[in-house]
Structure 1
């Protein structure tokens, strides 16, 4: 619960940059491109920080890194309050993103260390991951109130206070697990990176991360416009469809992880493969037969797309953590999330360029379906190869 609270508070700032960018556009009369850069700036930050923070967490635990990181996240937002120059705004937001880089790997590492593999680890990770959509939902509902009643500075101050409270709570109440510091210090940073790169069984997991996070960001950025143009409906109705997808995603992060604990006995790979298969099937329906469906079916379809295309994340984090070397969990998670972060920044704009180039959504969505399918097939092949290798080793020992 402490990790979930800290993640919610940190995401209140990170996801709250979206509404904040809209407020800045109104106040400073920014273009759509300038508004988009505000969101991009905060998402670029973690690329530069997560590997460093993950490495430090492996050595010293999560408490001080996550706690102080969240407090510094809040202080960065305080610095943002008097800034009115657009370029300076982007520079400070880059640092906001850098400090947000402590939240994701820190919370994931905490769950992995405190929950045994077959003792509700997946469910715990799922609950922790709900801090992300919850923080975003709280930001989108509360920040407009402060902005329209008290101004832009009040919205920034609210984000700062929430982040600092999250950091203080984590510092005061979270207890680190025991760390094997002597073993940790025997490896340099680059030796750890090389050991991670040599673990070939992590490659399909990393690929699934970048393909599914691309889908997740495309859902957020393009689902409304796709539904509006395809079904000839208003953006307000499309927004309701998107909200159904996000509600499905929040539930999916818990239920898919719970399923992996209770129906698959702690196996994350098989339910993740099923999730990818069902995601591909759902997207095919979206792309090719959406026009032939009644609205009530489209509501269910949007919920299902969110359940799978946003809910996959908990399974991914746990699987990546469990395949990591036990001494490098924080760094391995940070490595995978850093790869994801590049696609968080690139995927929405790249998909938009493809839509413009092909003058429609069918080909871009078809390419996305292929991209996602490769990850699921690769993971299935890798798991079968590992199983075959283990059976041969067992026979040799006999």
Structure 2
């Protein structure tokens, strides 16, 4: 920084104050994302321990994840109106309290309580992004918007890594129920921190906003706005591809390409780590190009090409590893750019993040289920992955059309 620019910053204390507020907001919203994601994935890291306690098969944990996202779809549609009515800090608190109650409910070890806890986790997860997007959109400079949103979204793979690395060994030592109860304190503490920010972040509340009417009004706005409509369906395509990659890659490596279970399991960690780096990288690229749709088009094309290539040469370990890492880098790296572009494209005050992310939640639910159906028809993982590549290419083409219009 030059002396002139330093003097300029000192002459504008509001700028320094805004930067300080942005740093605190980014830290708190990222930590909230980590806590929310770890609550979603907690049971998936210890399925055998949980299944033994409940007297069910480990595969039943898959229904728990579906229940989380099913409740998320409903509350994602309501999130925008809730943020406007109660304020983003209050909604952020509610999101964290959902994670807190979810952890505590799962810790009881009773099947029906775990089901209710899963619904609450889904509610919290659906409210988390609309709250944080509203906060960050007010504070983030336009030139760094994509990077800031992408750093916050890096909390998703970080939350997955936290759950995968911490919960299993602690559960083996102390028991899975006490560990989940201990994890419940993380979102509870963060919810208390949000209380300190309510005065600054909830100063634009509109108590007269009707929640029910706001749901349909928000959806009409999304579907009538070409950019928001494109972002909604890109979220659907890309989340379907992302979850299918995460769900079926290990099975394909073992069943079709002969990888050992240990080597194949390590791929899941590589995909998560690559995704965390990808989110930040693609955020930087989007800010540099000043065209989020162009980056989303690039991401979709590379993801499709990596999936296609991997399905063809996955039996070659070195090339297969490089391609699946690339698929994770791009296929898990689009989220921050999509949220930043949603904030930019939303009309009026606030954002329509929840309304757009409704389609992302649907993609999460539909993608793996459709992959399973296609696998039954095609008869091979590699053939089904080639079909999945078409989904990524379709999203890339749609994003490219919007990117070209944005440059006019």
Partner residue, 1:353: 373
**Paired residues for 1:190-209 under 5 Å:** 190-209=216-235
The reply on whether 1:223 has 2:242 as its aligned counterpart is: no
Contact 2:146 2:284 in 1 (8 A): yes
What is the TM-score when the length of structure 2 is the normalising length?
A: 0.85
Distance (Å, rounded) in 1 between the aligned partners of 2:101 and 2:54: 23
3-state SS of 2:56 partner:
coil
Q: Deviations over 1:368-390 (max 9, x none)?
A: 222222222123224435655xx
Measured in 2, the distance between the counterparts of 1:23 and 1:386 equals 51
Q: Is the 8 A contact 2:279 2:333 kept in 1?
A: yes
8 Å CA contact 2:109–2:177 kept in 1: the answer is no
Shift in Å, 1:301: 1.8
For residues 319-366 of structure 1, give each alpha carbon's deviation from its aligned partner in whole angstroms, at most 9, with x where no partner exists.
12211113251xx21112121112212322321232133210233222
Are the aligned partners of 2:102 and 2:117 in contact in 1 as well (CA < 8 Å)?
Answer: yes
TM-score (norm 1): 0.87
* DSSP 3-state at the match of 1:231: coil
Q: Aligned partners of 1:226 and 1:326: how far apart in 2?
A: 46
Which among 44, 48, 55 is matched to residue 18 of structure 1? Answer: 44
Q: Which residue of 1 aligns with 2:181?
A: 157
Find out whether 1:362 has 2:364 as its counterpart. no
Gap runs ≥5 in structure 2: 1-26
Residue 127 (structure 2) aligned to one of 98, 102, 106: 102
1:384 to 2:408 alignment: no
Deviation per CA, 1:214-236: give whole Å up to 9, x if none: 11111211111112223211111
Q: Aligned partners of 1:138 and 1:202: how far apart in 2?
A: 32
In structure 1, the partner of 2:344 is 322
Question: Using the alignment, how far apart are the partners of 2:34 and 2:165 within structure 1?
Answer: 14
What residue is the counterpart of 1:288 in the other structure?
312
Cα distance change of structure 1 residues 250 and 383 upon mapping to structure 2, 3 Å threshold: closer
Q: Which runs of 5+ in 1 are unaligned?
A: 389-398
Closer, same or farther: CA 137–185 of 1 in aligned 2, 3 Å: same
Deviation at 1:257, TM superposition (A): 0.2
Corresponding position of 2:274: 248
Shift of 1:153: 1.9
Distance 1:194 1:296 in 2: 48
Instruction: Count the aligned residue pairs.
Output: 380
Describe how 1:256-335 pairs up with structure 2 within 5 A: 256-261=282-287, 263-264=288-289, 266-291=290-315, 293=316, 295-329=317-351, 332-335=352-355
Match of 1:168 in 2: 192
Bigger drift between 72-81 and 373-382 goes to 72-81
| TM-superposed deviation, 1:76 | 3.8
Correspondent of 1:342 among 353, 362, 375: 362
Report the Cα distance in structure 2 between the residues aligned to 1:124 and 1:174, rounded to whole angstroms. Answer: 21
Contact kept? 2:161, 2:272, Cα under 8 Å: no
